[in-house]
Amino acid sequence: MDSRAVKAAHEAARRASLTLEAQCALAPYTSLGIGGPAAALCAVSDIEGLCRGLRHARELGVPVLLLGAGTNLLVSDEGWPGLALRLQLTGLVIDHERCTVRVAAGVKSRLLVEETIAASLAGLEFASGLPGTVGGAVAGNAGCFGGSFGDRLIRAMVVDAEGNAHSIEDPAWFHFSYRGSRLIAEGAVLAEATFALCPGDREALQSRAAELLGIRRDKHPLPGEKTAGSYFKNLPPEQPGGRRRAAGELLDAVGAKAMRVGDAIVFERHANIIVNRGAASARDVLELADQMSGAVRRTFGIVLEPEVRLVGPRPAG
Ligand SMILES: Cc1cc2nc3c(=O)[nH]c(=O)nc-3n(C[C@H](O)[C@H](O)[C@H](O)COP(=O)(O)OP(=O)(O)OC[C@H]3O[C@@H](n4cnc5c(N)ncnc54)[C@H](O)[C@@H]3O)c2cc1C
């Protein structure tokens, strides 16, 4: 890691009065368990600290990486040449009368789903079993089983890349798209979101959630396996409003389940999931992903786009 990058990132953290973590390794903060160190790593547990961190990093020209639970990231073996902020904002308030839930970005999506179901509120049960935080889910407009986070968001608190907090009253601000939003495009940070729900029957919601959990258990690696979920995005629908074709179908057809590079393997039961079965590097994962997408391109003439986000420099060559 370039010593100037480390010095600048440490200086940004110092000016922002953020406490540096002793270890800067990012691998332990990702579900793939892969990646080199950050130049500086700090946990952020309040909006003021987040604003200061972003402001001073911007002033010093230090790149910022926002880390939720790291379940959708592939961190480069060279790490992140800037300030990594682990978002630890917590808090969840249900308004039973208005059927809304206000939740901080660092809360686990799984907890949000459980709490809203326990309050007999419907609308987020599609996300039952979704790993990661609310911040990561809104930033990437995470979705599954016909729902996505952007569909339910009505208000938010966002901190822009300069470190200024804004109250967003119009969800159109987010420009939600398939696995994307303005947050990612602009390096803005979700601090808090409010979702609109509707009254529901608790038992029916619980049984739907259990059903979706069962589907995940059958299709996905077991908890404890190192993975970032689907590696490639599904294909755009052929007609407006139509269904997306699963990238996994194409990958299965080209024999991806037999592919591996080092300890990076394609999951035996889902051709669009890469698992780190030991000490895989980011380079191994990228090479495996190239083999998978290359086979699809040669057979079907279709270019797959990664859903997992690469953080830090891509290895040369
Ligand atoms: C087994 C498994 C199954 C999965 N299934 C699904 C699925 O069905 N559907 C789906 O969409 N995804 C799925 N994922 C991917 C992932 O879990 C989700 O995208 C999740 O919402 C990411 O949240 P995170 O906190 O881990 O984000 P991270 O991985 O930490 O970050 C993802 C991106 O969001 C940014 N980010 C994080 N927090 C904030 C914030 N507060 N403000 C702005 N930007 C932020 C990060 O900088 C990064 O660019 C799966 C992953 C796994 C491992």
What is the structure's pLDDT at 109? 98
Cα R_g (the chain), whole angstroms: 20
Please, which pLDDT band fits residue 199 given cuts at 50, 70 and 90? very high
Whether pLDDT at 317 is above 80 = no
Whether pLDDT at 183 is above 90 = yes
Instruction: List the CATH number of the domain containing 233.
Output: 3.90.78.10
Instruction: List the CATH number of the domain containing 58.
Output: 3.30.43.10
Last residue in a domain, options 148, 178, 204: 204
CA-proximal residue: ligand 1, atom 15 (nearest): 72
Domains identified in the chain, total number: 3
The answer on 102 and 16 residing in a single domain is no
211: in domain? no
Bin 177: left if φ > 0, else alpha if -120 < ψ < 50, else beta: beta
What is the structure's pLDDT at 243? 78
Residue 16 and residue 251: Cα distance in Å, rounded? 46
Last residue in a domain, options 152, 174, 204: 204
- pLDDT per residue as tens digits for the range 207-239: 999 999 999 999 899 888 999 999 999 998 777
Please, which pLDDT band fits residue 172 given cuts at 50, 70 and 90? very high
- The answer to whether residues 293 and 239 touch, using CB atoms and an 8 Å cutoff, is no
The answer on 127 and 199 residing in a single domain is yes
Name the residue type at position 44: V
Residue 303 and residue 170: Cα distance in Å, rounded? 34
Instruction: Ligand 1: list residues with CB < 6 Å.
Output: 31, 66-73, 87, 105, 109, 130-133, 135-137, 139-140, 142-144, 183-184, 189-190, 220, 227-229, 309
Q: Tell the residue number behind the tokens 């729902």, with chain if given.
A: 147
Parent domain of 248: 222-311
